[in-house]
Amino acid sequence: MLMNFWQGLKQNKKPFFVLAPMADVTDAAFRSIIVKYGKPDVTWTEFVSADGLCHPKGREKLLKDLEYSEAERPIVAQLFSSNPENMRTACKLCAELGFDGIDINMGCPDRTIEKQGCGSAMIKTPERAIEIIRAARLGIIDAGKNIPLSVKTRVGYSRDEIDTWIVKLLSEKLDALTVHARTRKDLSQVPANWNYISRVVALRDMLAPNTIIIGNGDVSSINDGIQKAKKTGADGIMIGRALFGNPWIFNRDVSIKKQGSWRQSFFLRMLPTSWAKKIMGDSKYTISDIPLEQKLAVMVEHTRLFEKMLGDVKNFAVMKKHYKAYATGFPGAKELRIKLMDTKNGNEVQQIVDEFLNK
């Protein structure tokens, strides 16, 4: 395994922090906002169908998901497929597009993805998963490139399978392995168990010492990630849901708001995630201490970028999940959210924000 950007991060920035790939969230517009206000050490595209990239009818739209700027480097393209031939072809394309690395999604719990034998379903077909990994490597070679290959997965499907599934992946000597500290069955209904990550790191040290381990699951802030890395030995930390409405999360120069007392945190950890959300809403995750006017201005900026970059291929309704996150935690937030849910374009969003701030 040759030196690559993963090894450089491990040596110089442990723990490093990376952007989680999330469908209809970490698109080109949101990544542009994140890079501007708090650049992570590595950015990821949202996951893209390798099968779709191999068909002329779907390729043009999917290529929009693979657009990126130089400011986002190092950037990793994430693909999914259960077809080795298509994975090889798609990896060749991504390598030729200049990505710094390629990642294979073997952890997404979405039923539509699983019906294709992809995402978390790969955990149930480990031999096919290995075929996909080896096909991806061939695709990179076909492109005449030597970029790193990684996998993102979970600790098992319906139970802990670290000693079988994770060992199988480590045997492939991946450049990096991101492990979500839950099973597929867990979804997000129970807290992430970072003791799993400690076990993965121990196995890595024995079986594949050059493979970078990235922990994922319920990371609320940079400080939280640092503590989780110290506890588990993970080389890097991936942040996902805490990004919503908070593109400053990777910016260490921005202070954060306190999220309740330690007693609240202690008791909330004992509850299912869905219950905790009902009790505290988004306060489970860190909120950057940004003035309200600036936060709403960035929301409008995000909207304008979405229209400019993706308005011809994605429904404007995609932005609504972001509005729920931007407009929270301040007086009048609920009323503002209700109005934002009815918007159809950036001009309407701008008008509603102006009216809210000037009332």
Q: What value, to the nearest 5°, has the Cα angle with vertex 300 and ends 299 and 301?
A: 90
Residue listed under structure tokens 């309704």: 317
Long-range residue pairs from 193-200, CB within 8 A, at least 24 positions apart, any chain: 193/155, 193/217, 194/228, 194/231, 194/232, 195/232, 196/155, 196/160, 196/162, 197/228, 197/232, 197/233, 197/234, 198/231, 198/232, 198/233, 199/162, 200/155, 200/162, 200/166
Beta strands of 117-251 (E only): which ranges?
Answer: 149-154, 176-180, 212-216, 236-239
Positions marked active-site: 108
Handedness of CA 172, 173, 176, 181 (dihedral sign): positive
Report residue 352 as tokens.
Answer: 């509603």
How far, in Å, CA of 344 to CA of 338, rounded? Answer: 13
Separation of first and last alpha carbons in the chain = 60
Residue type, 192: A
Q: Which helix (H) or strand (E) holds 49?
A: strand 48-49
How far, in Å, CA of 248 to CA of 234, rounded? Answer: 23
How far, in Å, CA of 146 to CA of 3, rounded? Answer: 10
Handedness of CA 36, 38, 43, 46 (dihedral sign): negative
Give rounded-to-5 percent helix, strand, coil for the chain. 50, 10, 35
Q: Find all residues with CB under 8 Å of 55, minimum gap 6, and list them.
A: none
**Residue length, the chain?**
359
